[in-house]
Structure 1
Amino acid sequence: MHPAPLFRESDPETLIARIRAYPLGLICVSGEVAPLVAHTPVLASLENGAPRLRFHLSAHNAVTRRLEAGAAALIVFTGPEAYISPDWYGPVPNQVPTWNYLSVEAEGMPVPADATAFLDDVSAHFEAQLLPKPPWTRAKMDPAAFEMMLRGIRAYELRPMRFEGISKLGQNKTSAARDGVIEGLSATAGGLAIAQEMRKLQG
């Protein structure tokens, strides 16, 4: 987490929307020798204003074994991001390169969840984004095959004790300098998404 309070984001609705736009989370746990991590898609929602995150892992994943032993988890999401050249600030001396980005961190104790319900929900959520393709459902699978695959996964739910993010968008620069960065980013293939976020900041 970036130490500067200027970049901190704590609005739950903003953070949930960010996860929904960039749902591939990095699940981090403490291992016996070194940190352990695993990538997985996460379903995010707000219930009575409180965040609820659901995910699944392979039953054979080392992260799963740590969660089953009662380890806490940190889930990290990275949204749009891009390198920022000092040249884009205009006539501002003594600047250095940096990186602008959006992120979310959710920390807490995952608890076991219903894997069948999660798989139905995750497929329904992401298949809806593929319309007009007819949605895939597990009804297309042989029930015995589905049950066999189900034994190989573990589903979890996390109600975070800490839920915050970073919106590093040049808030520590002048409006003119941010305009220069937006112009520079807009001319690069990978900078359009973060340039759009900076435009929102400019108003």
Structure 2
Amino acid sequence: MRHSPHHVVTDPEVVRRLIDEHPWATLVSVNDGEPVASHYPVLLDDRDDDQLAVVTHVGRPDDQVHGFGPGNEMLFIFAGPSGYVSPSWYSPLGVRAPTWNFSVAHCYGVPEILDPDENVAVLTRLVARFEQHVDAPVYLDPELGAKLAPGTVGIRLPITRFVCKVKMSQDKDPQSQQQVLEALRRPGPYQHLALADDMERALAEDVSARR
């Protein structure tokens, strides 16, 4: 990603929050010189340590497609809400160019293959995370987990480095920021309440960081 001082984030807790709130990830690797991408739900690792890491699984044969192995670095991309920002929403001050607000984290590491018991545990956690919000949750019992697991490969990715960008109009004047928020909350084709909430939080954190 292009480096933008106004939008770069180095705090791992922001990355942790982005992963937790938006756990659908793009998994990217290079195998035999060819770029490969897959998409899977991902959870923060719940081990009791300070290492930022995530766990997930891939369906066979995606493990071979990605070429998991020692030293083969992988990229996980996590993205929050994003949306178009019209220059008509800005005040007359400054540059009035169209843009896009978004938050994204590129997380790098070498995946570790989970053993069968760990894989079942991760599958169980994934189902529990998303089933808890439905009216009649159906959780993964041990017998079904044991049947499903052989068709998957569980992985843990210790995140050794990341690039995070939160672009939420932090470089605009206060009037423009307020007008963008109002436009994103106004009924119509560009209404995006989740993006407005993310933008409001990012602007508040930016003000707090500068104090």
Instruction: Give TM class, smaller chain.
Output: 0.7 to 0.9
Amino acid aligned to 2:39: H
1:8-19 → structure 2 map (5 Å cutoff): 8-19=8-19
* Higher mean C-alpha displacement, 40-49 vs 111-120: 40-49
Amino acid aligned to 1:176: Q
Q: Give the Cα separation in 2 of the matches to 1:88 and 1:76.
A: 30
Cα distance per residue 1:127-162 (max 9 Å; x no partner): 2233x52442225xxx3x654432211000011111
TM-score, scaled relative to structure 2: 0.83
Relative to structure 1, the CA distance from residue 35 to residue 44 in structure 2 (aligned partners, 3 Å threshold; closer, same or farther) is: same
* Higher mean C-alpha displacement, 52-61 vs 163-172: 163-172
1:115-194 → structure 2 map (5 Å cutoff): 115-130=119-134, 132-139=135-142, 143=143, 146-187=145-186, 188=188, 190-194=191-195
Percentage of matched positions with identical amino acids: 25
Relative to structure 1, the CA distance from residue 69 to residue 12 in structure 2 (aligned partners, 3 Å threshold; closer, same or farther) is: closer
Q: Give the Cα separation in 2 of the matches to 1:73 and 1:82.
A: 27
Q: Give the Cα separation in 2 of the matches to 1:164 and 1:146.
A: 35
Q: Give the Cα separation in 1 of the matches to 2:67 and 2:8.
A: 30
1:29–1:63 Cα contact (<8 Å) kept: no
SS of residue matched to 2:34: coil
Deviation at 1:92, TM superposition (A): 3.4
1:12–1:49 Cα contact (<8 Å) kept: no
Deviation at 1:60, TM superposition (A): 0.8
1:8-87 → structure 2 map (5 Å cutoff): 8-45=8-45, 47-61=48-62, 64-68=65-69, 70-87=71-88
What is the aligned residue count? 198
Q: Give the Cα separation in 2 of the matches to 1:157 and 1:64.
A: 17
Relative to structure 1, the CA distance from residue 49 to residue 147 in structure 2 (aligned partners, 3 Å threshold; closer, same or farther) is: closer
SS of residue matched to 1:4: coil
Deviation at 1:172, TM superposition (A): 1.3
Q: Give the Cα separation in 1 of the matches to 2:148 and 2:41.
A: 18
Q: Give the Cα separation in 1 of the matches to 2:101 and 2:64.
A: 30
SS of residue matched to 2:133: helix
TM-score, scaled relative to structure 1: 0.86
Amino acid aligned to 2:121: A
Amino acid aligned to 2:89: W
2:166–2:202 Cα contact (<8 Å) kept: no
Q: Give the Cα separation in 2 of the matches to 1:148 and 1:68.
A: 25
Provide structure 1 residue ranges, at least 5 long, that are not aligned to the other structure: none
Amino acid aligned to 1:44: L
Cα distance per residue 1:155-174 (max 9 Å; x no partner): 00011111342110111111
SS of residue matched to 1:80: coil
SS of residue matched to 1:35: strand
Cα distance per residue 1:95-151 (max 9 Å; x no partner): 221100011221010100121111112112222233x52442225xxx3x6544322
Q: Give the Cα separation in 1 of the matches to 2:148 and 2:34.
A: 29
Deviation at 1:76, TM superposition (A): 0.2
Q: What RMSD in Å do the two structures reach over aligned CA positions? A: 2.3
Deviation at 1:57, TM superposition (A): 0.4
Deviation at 1:177, TM superposition (A): 1.1
Provide structure 2 residue ranges, at least 5 long, that are not aligned to the other structure: 205-211
SS of residue matched to 1:30: strand
